[in-house]
């Protein structure tokens, strides 16, 4: 959906590139009537640290025009590191009106120095995210307070506005008290004009401090405690000191509010060149899925991504025809364009808003707030099956029954009003990454081994590789890998090949070269080798500090990693003289750890898999599994050779394919035991 124009006062160093002397864009005036600054908190005797907050007021006010945000503070500077407070930066969207500065004063030895008498703001037209293809039209004003000293008290007061025509009079937002605030007095507040009261929801910590009035709610904290979020808990438990407010009564209202914007933007008028593009696609393809794929590729490949937040563009999509003419657009514009093309092709589709940051856990517990979502894509019904299409992805990302990012909650935008939908999670059926090593040591222990290393990467990481590597020539790729890899394990890198396998939805990198294999001599001609990727570090205990809630569940970030190593044994050795470390198949903390060995056809084969089977585990199981860590097998994947004989096949031997036995880009590969797969499917 794009970012909203929240108040942004950064107490950090600001680079004044392309400055313009346009101080009249920052207004000066009194604080609004709804602002009543807090009383100053006395500075304690013997105070230490970098600074002390005598007062800090963070206030939001709702009226007929939208939202106004006040930030006012007075802070005592106790350490040279706090002098950076004197670098004041204000960012705002001109469409919402200029910021109004009420005061910038320095208090020193009973004297009040008006900083704005001798210093002024410099206005920058800084698209500081242009390198990330974001054009938001924001202005930035910077001021460096002169002659600021340790012991001074810096006082600042200013108001900015957020007025978004897309939302009309529907406001929403958050007030957040950070986990580790500076010592002193912090006040937060929300007020409203008559008839503007929003729905309000707050965490228990904030509710205990709330002071409610007829047209506002206030929170005052003196020396608020550090409140660290519960360790390793799911994201929904990170909301500790938050106040939510929203004019939207439910998510269906949010959906109905935005659906007409996309319906209007997706309309393709008569005479538009997009009509011809749709006819061309229809003539080239007969199957609806192929037509949808062609339309998606057109949007991905022929319209470059640039976030557009100018004017009404922060939440309103640009018209499909406009996006096509200028050949650039953000997620909103690309989604509208794709919806228009699909409609021309007779394919039913809808816009769906999502959160790309991976913090959408618990959205069903939040007040309806469009600002919680930051991305929009398309969901189409094709032959009775829902497919996800994202116009901002690289052209290799074709329509898929699952989105590339594993969203938890999504909101379809429909005229009737879509409801918040939960996407059920299941363990990955295909590894996120498969790393293959084929070590050809047939020439002997004392000769370099020919090594083929193949890395198969899926998901967002695979698409990122596609973007990076598709622009490299074969010679450039080989040169980069030689510079980065030769000199340690790799003695030479002789060949390098990369491609993106669209059927497998995977980036495939293959490297061929030589290693000086680190065989260890065990005396009497015996040798041993720890195979790459063969061991596991023991899992860490899942514990929390005693002051935190001990009964909350623990979170596992989903992953499925597979390592496969094949060693072609020296031809001078007997297979009967080789053995290997034991394998295992262990489940602990909701994860499956698997390793197996086999020896066949003159080679030792090892496979090692790690998959998260449960995204959350309860506290009782975590405590039980803490007691099992001591018994966890964290041995490396050792193989052993003893020319004196005596080696016997391990009882843990299983059928393990070699790196060259099958296509490891297939949907189903032997990275886990059949029992493990069946166990996960039965859950």
Q: What is the pLDDT of residues 84-99, one digit of tens each?
A: 999 999 988 887 889 9
| Beta carbons within 10 angstroms of residue 34's beta carbon | 19
> Could you tell me what percent of the chain has a pLDDT over 70?
91
Higher pLDDT, 166 or 242: 242
The CATH class for the domain spanning 252-422 reads alpha beta
> Could you tell me what percent of the chain has a pLDDT over 90?
82
Task: Based on DSSP, count helices (H) and strands (E) in the chain, helices before strands.
Answer: 10, 40
Assign 655 a pLDDT band (cuts: 50, 70, 90): confident
- What is the mean pLDDT of the segment spanning 278-306? 97
What's the pLDDT at 9?
A: 27
What's the pLDDT at 92?
A: 86
User: How is the chain split into domains, by residue range?
Assistant: 8-247, 252-422, 449-516, 519-542+550-683
| Phi (first) and psi of residue 576, to 5 degrees | -70, -15
Assign 259 a pLDDT band (cuts: 50, 70, 90): very high
CATH node for 519-542+550-683: 2.60.120
Assign 645 a pLDDT band (cuts: 50, 70, 90): confident
Tell me, what DSSP letter sits at residue 400? B
Lowest mean pLDDT among 133-137, 270-274, 631-635: 133-137
Task: Name the pairing type of β-strands 87-92 and 139-144.
Answer: antiparallel
What's the pLDDT at 650?
A: 55
Report pTM.
0.89
pLDDT of 651 > 60? The answer is: no
Q: Record the tokens describing residue 425, joined without a space.
A: 């999670």
Local structure of 301: helix, strand or coil: helix
pLDDT of 492 > 80? The answer is: yes
What's the pLDDT tens digit per position in 312-327? 447 889 999 999 999 9
What's the pLDDT at 392?
A: 95
Residue 655: alpha-carbon gap to chain centroid: 39
Q: How far apart are CA 257 and CA 372, in angstroms?
A: 15
Q: How far apart are CA 388 and CA 183, in angstroms?
A: 48
Q: How far apart are CA 376 and CA 353, in angstroms?
A: 4
What's the pLDDT tens digit per position in 116-160? 999 999 987 554 444 444 555 678 899 999 999 999 999 999 999
Under the phi-then-psi rule, with left for phi > 0, alpha for psi from -120 to 50, and beta for the rest, what region is 233?
A: beta
Q: Say which residues have a Cβ less than 8 Å from residue 597's Cβ, sequence separation at least 6.
A: 580, 581, 583, 604, 605, 606, 637, 639, 650, 652, 653, 654, 656
Q: Are 104 and 88 in contact (CB under 8 A)?
A: yes
Q: Are 526 and 578 in contact (CB under 8 A)?
A: no
Helical pair 273-284 and 331-344, crossing angle rounded to 10 deg: 60
CATH node for 8-247: 2.60.40.3140
What's the pLDDT at 311?
A: 47
Task: Name the pairing type of β-strands 328-329 and 242-246.
Answer: unpaired
Lowest mean pLDDT among 160-169, 242-251, 547-556: 160-169
Which of 98, 100, 139 lies closest to 122 in space, CA to CA? 139
What's the pLDDT tens digit per position in 374-424? 999 999 999 999 999 999 999 999 999 999 999 999 999 999 999 999 999
- What is the mean pLDDT of the segment spanning 532-537? 92
What's the pLDDT at 129?
A: 45
Q: Are 292 and 457 in contact (CB under 8 A)?
A: no
What's the pLDDT tens digit per position in 45-68? 999 999 999 999 999 999 988 899
What's the pLDDT tens digit per position in 453-485? 999 999 999 999 999 999 999 999 999 999 999
Tell me, what DSSP letter sits at residue 42? P
What's the pLDDT tens digit per position in 162-183? 877 778 778 999 999 999 999 9
Q: 8-247 and 519-542+550-683 share one CATH topology? A: no
């Amino acid at each position: 959906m794009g970012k909203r124009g929240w108040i942004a006062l950064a107490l950090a160093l600001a680079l004044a590139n392309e400055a313009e002397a346009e101080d009249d864009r920052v207004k000066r005036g009194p604080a609004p009537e709804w602002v009543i600054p807090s009383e100053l908190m006395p500075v304690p005797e013997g105070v230490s640290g970098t600074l002390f907050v005598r007062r800090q007021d963070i206030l939001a006010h709702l009226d007929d025009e939208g939202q106004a945000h006040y930030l006012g503070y007075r802070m005592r500077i106790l350490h040279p590191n706090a002098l950076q407070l004197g670098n004041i930066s204000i960012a705002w969207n001109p469409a919402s009106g200029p910021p109004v500065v009420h005061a910038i004063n320095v208090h020193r030895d009973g004297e009040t120095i008006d900083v704005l008498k001798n210093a002024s703001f410099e206005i920058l037209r800084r698209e500081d995210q242009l390198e990330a293809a974001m054009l938001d039209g924001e202005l930035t004003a910077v001021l460096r307070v002169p002659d600021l000293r340790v012991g001074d008290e810096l006082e600042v007061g200013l108001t900015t506005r957020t007025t978004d025509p897309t939302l009309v009079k529907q406001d929403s937002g958050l007030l957040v008290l950070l986990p580790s605030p500076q010592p002193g007095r912090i006040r937060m507040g929300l007020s409203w004009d008559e008839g503007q009261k929003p729905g309000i929801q707050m965490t228990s910590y904030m509710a205990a401090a709330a002071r409610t009035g007829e047209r506002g709610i206030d929170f005052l904290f003196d020396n608020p405690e550090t409140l660290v979020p519960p360790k390793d808990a799911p994201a929904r438990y990170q909301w500790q000191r938050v106040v939510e407010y929203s004019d939207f009564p439910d998510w269906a209202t949010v959906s109905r509010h935005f659906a007409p914007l996309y319906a209007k933007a997706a309309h393709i008028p008569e005479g538009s060149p997009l009509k011809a593009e749709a006819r061309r696609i229809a003539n080239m393809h007969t199957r609806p899925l192929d037509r949808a794929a062609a339309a998606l590729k057109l949007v991905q490949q022929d319209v470059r991504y640039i976030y557009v937040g100018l004017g009404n563009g922060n939440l309103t999509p640009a018209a499909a025809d406009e996006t096509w003419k200028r050949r650039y657009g953000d997620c909103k514009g690309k989604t509208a364009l794709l919806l228009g093309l699909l409609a021309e092709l007779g394919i039913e589709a809808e816009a769906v808003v999502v959160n790309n940051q991976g913090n959408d856990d618990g959205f069903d517990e939040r007040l309806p707030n469009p600002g919680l979502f930051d991305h929009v894509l398309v969901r189409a019904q094709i032959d009775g099956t829902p497919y996800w299409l994202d116009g901002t992805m690289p052209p290799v990302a074709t329509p898929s029954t699952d989105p590339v990012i594993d969203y938890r909650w999504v909101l379809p935008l429909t005229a009737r009003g879509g409801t918040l939908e939960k996407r059920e999670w299941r363990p990955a059926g295909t590894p996120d990454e498969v790393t293959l090593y084929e070590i050809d040591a047939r020439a002997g222990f004392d000769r370099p081994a020919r090594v083929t290393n193949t890395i198969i990467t899926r998901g967002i990481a695979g698409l990122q590789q596609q973007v990076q590597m598709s622009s490299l020539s074969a010679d450039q790729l080989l040169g980069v890998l030689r510079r980065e890899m030769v000199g340690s394990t790799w003695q030479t890198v002789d060949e390098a090949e990369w491609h993106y396998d669209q059927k497998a939805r995977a980036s495939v990198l293959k490297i061929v070269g030589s290693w000086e294999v680190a065989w260890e001599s065990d005396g009497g001609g015996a040798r041993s080798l720890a195979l790459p990727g063969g061991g596991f570090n023991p899992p860490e205990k899942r514990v929390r500090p005693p002051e935190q809630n001990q009964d909350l569940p623990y979170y596992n970030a989903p992953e499925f990693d597979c390592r496969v190593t094949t060693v072609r044994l020296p031809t001078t050795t007997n297979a009967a003289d080789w053995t290997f470390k034991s394998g295992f198949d262990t489940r602990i903390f909701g994860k499956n750890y698997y390793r197996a060995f086999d020896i066949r056809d003159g080679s030792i084969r090892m496979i090692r898999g790690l998959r998260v089977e449960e995204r959350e585990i309860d506290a009782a199981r975590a405590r039980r599994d803490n007691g099992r860590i001591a018994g966890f097998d964290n041995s490396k994947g050792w193989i052993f050779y003893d020319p004196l004989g005596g080696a016997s096949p391990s009882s843990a031997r299983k059928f393990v394919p070699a790196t060259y036995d099958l296509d490891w880009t297939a949907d189903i590969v032997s990275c886990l035991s059949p029992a493990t797969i069946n166990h996960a499917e039965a859950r």
